Amino acid sequence: MPLVITESPSRQLGVDVEPAPAEGTMAQVVPLLHPAERARVEAAEAGARAGVFAALWARKEAYLKGLGTGPGRDLAADVTRPPFF
């Protein structure tokens, strides 16, 4: 279960934790993501796809919470990347 904490340019924190999603949830949300994020999920092996999506979604939600918008913002507007550590 991914846990993500982000900091926005305005120094606000965004936090999110996500369990592995159901296939139906992924089928609804993946098409709404940024093309690079969509490609990352679709390139994952079938057995790893839910985990890749959960990590990506946790990053996306934490980022949007840090911006103060939450998931009401266009999900394709921003691309999130895995942390570099």
Q: Say how far apart CA 22 and CA 25 lie, in whole Å.
A: 5
Q: Is the pLDDT of residue 77 over 60?
A: yes
Q: Say if residues 45 and 78 touch (Cβ distance below 8 Å).
A: no
Sign of the torsion angle spanned by Cα atoms 65, 71, 74, 79: positive
Q: What is the pLDDT of residues 59-70, one digit of tens each?
A: 888 888 888 877
The confidence score (pLDDT) of residue 79 equals: 76
Give the pLDDT band (50/70/90) at residue 85: very low
Q: What is the pLDDT of residues 11-50, one digit of tens each?
A: 677 787 778 888 788 999 999 889 999 999 999 999 999 9
* Tokens encoding 37: 């994020």
- The alpha carbon of residue 33 and the mean position of all alpha carbons in its chain are separated, in whole angstroms, by 8
